């Protein structure tokens, strides 16, 4: 498959064989991650590679014990990182206080996410399956401690990777035209919204979740079951505190 076909066949993989990821495959993933665009060429990110099972077991509860957090042979954690650039400034006797703000955090987070998606494309291109672990954000302070991240480094993405143990079906998505606006943003009519989301509502895994949870429709299932206001507010407070404690004055 070529790269476009690979991107279009992406689906999250949550079951892996025990085969470790070959060293050359990992090296290629890391080189692709490192070669993305970055703000001003500063490459404001770091990648922590986890292959040690004891380390994975230590982090598992923070990933809410999702099986992929221990079953995958490889976990990559992408961090927004101004620490290395601070060190560079220190070594050149240049002040480091220009980058302790929201602007700087946003640059570093963007660089880290670009690197993460490049890593995903490279991984899938080489036959690996993968799944993002959003739990890295929920428990960022504890990950900072376990991974010994210094000040000015914040984990922003975490991806479990390995050789797929099973064939997985494509996940239903909104049609492309639902996401694209030409020249300026065009309003959605209620009927547009009905049409766009019907496909997702009818997807078997969503329809059965709505049925089992008794939530009535997919929107309510998201808001009242999957990602609830109280949880989002609780974890937002923790995240804001964590980013500030890491030295970004946001
Ligand atoms: C930021 C982010 C966090 C995610 N966190 C999790 C997670 O913690 N557990 C999980 O099983 N899937 C997780 N996913 C995978 C999504 O559920 C998945 O990408 C989405 O349902 C679309 O399916 P696809 O990847 O198969 O196309 C995450 C994806 C993203 C982008």
Question: Which atom number of ligand 1 is nearest to the Cα of residue 10?
Answer: 27
Alpha helices in 100-215 (DSSP H): 102-125, 135-138, 140-146, 176-179, 190-202, 204-213
Q: Looking at domain 3-167, which CATH architecture does it have?
A: 3-Layer(aba) Sandwich (3.40)
- What separation in Å is there between the alpha carbon of 145 and the centre of ligand 1? 24
**The residue count for the chain:** 250
Atom 6, ligand 1: residue with shortest CA distance: 133
Is residue 66 in contact with ligand 1, taking CB distance under 6 Å? yes
Domain boundaries, the chain: 3-167
Atom 3, ligand 1: residue with shortest CA distance: 134
Per-residue confidence (pLDDT) for residue 160, from 0 to 100: 98
Atom 30, ligand 1: residue with shortest CA distance: 132
Q: Judging by beta carbons within 10 Å of its beta carbon (0-12, 13-18, 19+), is residue 112 exposed, middle or buried?
A: buried
Question: Which atom number of ligand 1 is nearest to the Cα of residue 64?
Answer: 8
Question: Which atom number of ligand 1 is nearest to the Cα of residue 11?
Answer: 26
- Of 112, 134, 167, which is best to mutate to test ligand 1, by the most ligand atoms within 8 angstroms of its C-beta? 134
- What separation in Å is there between the alpha carbon of 196 and the centre of ligand 1? 20
Per-residue confidence (pLDDT) for residue 59, from 0 to 100: 98
Per-residue confidence (pLDDT) for residue 62, from 0 to 100: 97
> What's the CA gap between 219 and 14, in Å, rounded?
25
Atom 19, ligand 1: residue with shortest CA distance: 12
- What separation in Å is there between the alpha carbon of 170 and the centre of ligand 1? 13
Across the beta sheet with 45-50, what order do the strands follow? 45-50, 74-81, 153-162, 129-132
Q: Report the Cα–Cα distance between both ends of the chain, in Å, rounded.
A: 44
Q: Judging by beta carbons within 10 Å of its beta carbon (0-12, 13-18, 19+), is residue 23 exposed, middle or buried?
A: exposed
* pLDDT by 10-residue block (mean), the chain, 250 residues: 94 97 98 98 98 98 97 98 97 96 98 98 98 98 98 98 96 96 98 96 95 96 97 97 97
Per-residue confidence (pLDDT) for residue 208, from 0 to 100: 96
Per-residue confidence (pLDDT) for residue 1, from 0 to 100: 80
DSSP assignment letter at 203? S
Per-residue confidence (pLDDT) for residue 110, from 0 to 100: 98
- Of 8, 110, 133, which is best to mutate to test ligand 1, by the most ligand atoms within 8 angstroms of its C-beta? 133
Is residue 160 in contact with ligand 1, taking CB distance under 6 Å? no
């Amino acid at each position: 498959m070529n790269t476009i076909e690979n991107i279009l066949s992406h689906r999250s993989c949550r079951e892996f064989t025990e085969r470790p990821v070959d060293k050359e495959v990992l090296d290629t993933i890391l080189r692709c991650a490192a070669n993305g665009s970055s703000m001003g060429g500063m490459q404001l990110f770091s990648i922590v590679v986890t292959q040690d099972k004891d380390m994975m077991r230590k982090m598992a509860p923070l990933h809410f014990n999702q099986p992929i957090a221990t079953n995958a042979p490889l976990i990559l954690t992408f961090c927004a990182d101004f620490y290395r650039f601070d060190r560079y400034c220190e070594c050149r006797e240049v002040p480091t206080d220009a980058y302790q703000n929201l602007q700087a955090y946003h640059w570093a987070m963007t660089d880290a996410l670009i690197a993460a998606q490049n890593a995903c494309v490279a991984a899938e291109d080489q036959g690996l399956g993968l799944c993002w672990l959003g739990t890295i954000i929920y428990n960022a302070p504890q990950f900072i401690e376990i991974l010994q991240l210094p000040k000015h480094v914040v984990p922003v993405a975490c991806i479990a990777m390995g050789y797929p143990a099973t064939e997985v079906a494509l996940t239903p998505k909104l049609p492309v035209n639902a996401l694209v606006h030409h020249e300026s943003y065009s309003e959605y009519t209620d009927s547009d919204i009905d049409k766009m989301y019907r496909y997702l509502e009818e997807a078997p895994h969503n329809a059965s979740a709505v049925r089992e949870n008794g939530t009535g429709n997919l929107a309510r299932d998201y808001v009242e079951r999957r990602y609830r206001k109280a949880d989002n507010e609780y974890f937002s407070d923790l995240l804001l505190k964590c980013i500030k404690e890491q030295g970004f004055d946001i």
